[in-house]
C-alpha cells in the first residue's frame, strides 16, 4: 500500500459545481499535511496547509481526520482556473516529506 494515496481522476466538473477530493495516508506518525496545486507543465505551489481543526480559504476548505487517516479538499463554486492537479503532501515526524501522485481536475465551461 502506498503511504499517500489519491484518486488520480480526472474529475470532470461543470463550472460552478462543488468538488471534493480525499487523500489517505498510512503512516500514523504523519505530522503535518498540505495541499499543493500543480498546473500543467508548471511547478507545484502551496494551496493550503491542513490543520486538525480544519481550515478555510475563500472557496477552498481543507479538513483532517486523524482517526481515519485522511485529508480532504473541498472546492466550492468551481472556476475554470481551478483546473489543475492537486497534490496531497504529508510530512512525517522523521522529517520525510511524502507526495501523493495527484488528482487531476478539469472544470468544464
Query: Among 43, 53, 58, 68, which residue interacts with another protein (rule: CB under 8 A)?
Result: 43
Q: Does 22 bind another protein (CB under 8 A)?
A: no
Q: Does 102 bind another protein (CB under 8 A)?
A: yes
Q: Does 31 bind another protein (CB under 8 A)?
A: yes
Handedness of CA 20, 25, 31, 36 (dihedral sign): negative
In angstroms, the CA 77 to CA 82 distance is 10
- Applying CB under 8 A, the span of 19-27, 30-38, 56-64, 70-78 interacting with another protein comes to 30-38
Q: Which three cell numbers stand for residue 69?
A: 487517516
Q: Which three cell numbers stand for residue 72?
A: 480532504
What residues between 59 and 88 interact with another protein by CB under 8 A?
Answer: 87
Amino acid at each position: 500500500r502506498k503511504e499517500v494515496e489519491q484518486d488520480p481522476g480526472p474529475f470532470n466538473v461543470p463550472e460552478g459545481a462543488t468538488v471534493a477530493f480525499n487523500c489517505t495516508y498510512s503512516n500514523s506518525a504523519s505530522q503535518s499535511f498540505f495541499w499543493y496545486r500543480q498546473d500543467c507543465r508548471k511547478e507545484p505551489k502551496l494551496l493550503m496547509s491542513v490543520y486538525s481543526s480544519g481550515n478555510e480559504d475563500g472557496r477552498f476548505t481543507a479538513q483532517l481526520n486523524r482517526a481515519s487517516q485522511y485529508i480532504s479538499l473541498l472546492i466550492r463554486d468551481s472556476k475554470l482556473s481551478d483546473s489543475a492537479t492537486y497534490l496531497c503532501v504529508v510530512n512525517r515526524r522523521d522529517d520525510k516529506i511524502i507526495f501523493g501522485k495527484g488528482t487531476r481536475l478539469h472544470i468544464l465551461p
